[in-house]
Chains A and B, each alone.
Chain A
Amino acid sequence: MHNIIAPRPISRPSPPKLQPTPQGPKKFLLFLLICGIFGLFAYWRGMDEVIIGDDGALVLSPERQDELDRRIYRLDNAEQYVLIAMYDGHYPCYNCGPDTLKIFLFAGETWKYGVTIQGQKGRYSTKKLNGMGLDYRVQLRSNIHNCLKAEAKMIFHYPLMPENIKRLRPINRPPGNKNDL
Chain B
Amino acid sequence: MLYQPFVVTGILDEIIADKVSYVNTTTIANLLNAKLQFSTYGTGLIGISFYFIVTAPEDIIHHEYTRYSSKERELHLQLRLPYETVLHASREEVLLMMVHTYLNGLKTYLPKKKIQDFDTATFLRDVERLFAGQGWIARGVDSTAG
Using CB atoms and an 8 Å cutoff, list the residues of chain A in contact with chain B: 74, 77, 79, 82, 84, 86-87, 107-108, 116-118, 126-127, 129-139, 141
A147 vs B56: C-alpha distance in the bound complex, in angstroms?
A: 17
Number of B interface residues in the complex (CB < 8 A): 27
Tell yes or no: B51 within 8 A of A by CB. Answer: yes
Task: List A contacts of B22 (CB < 8 A).
Answer: 84, 86-87, 107-108, 135
Residue ID in chain A nearest B8 by CB atoms: A86
Q: Which of B10-18, B90-98, B100-108, B124-132 contacts A (4 or more CB under 8 A)?
A: B10-18
Partner of B3 from A84, A118, A132 at Cβ < 8 Å: A132
- Given A107-B26, A116-B61, A139-B14: A130 and B56 interface contact (C-beta under 8 Å): no
A177 vs B17: C-alpha distance in the bound complex, in angstroms?
A: 22
A136 vs B51: C-alpha distance in the bound complex, in angstroms?
A: 10
7 A-B interface contacts by CB (under 8 A): A84-B22, A87-B26, A126-B76, A131-B1, A133-B7, A135-B25, A137-B12
Tell yes or no: B89 within 8 A of A by CB. Answer: no
Partner of B59 from A108, A117, A127, A138 at Cβ < 8 Å: A138
Is the beta-carbon distance between A135 and B13 smaller than 8 angstroms?
A: no
Residue ID in chain B nearest A132 by CB atoms: B3
A136 vs B14: C-alpha distance in the bound complex, in angstroms?
A: 9
Residue ID in chain B nearest A74 by CB atoms: B60
A84 vs B9: C-alpha distance in the bound complex, in angstroms?
A: 10
A81 vs B59: C-alpha distance in the bound complex, in angstroms?
A: 13
A87 vs B11: C-alpha distance in the bound complex, in angstroms?
A: 16
B112–chain A nearest beta-carbon distance, Å: 19
Is the beta-carbon distance between A136 and B3 smaller than 8 angstroms?
A: no
* Residue from A118, A129, A136 having most chain B Cβ neighbours under 10 A: A136
Residues of B51-65 at the interface with A, using a CB-CB cut-off of 8 Å, are: 51, 55-56, 58-61
A161 vs B59: C-alpha distance in the bound complex, in angstroms?
A: 28
Task: List A contacts of B60 (CB < 8 A).
Answer: 74, 77, 118
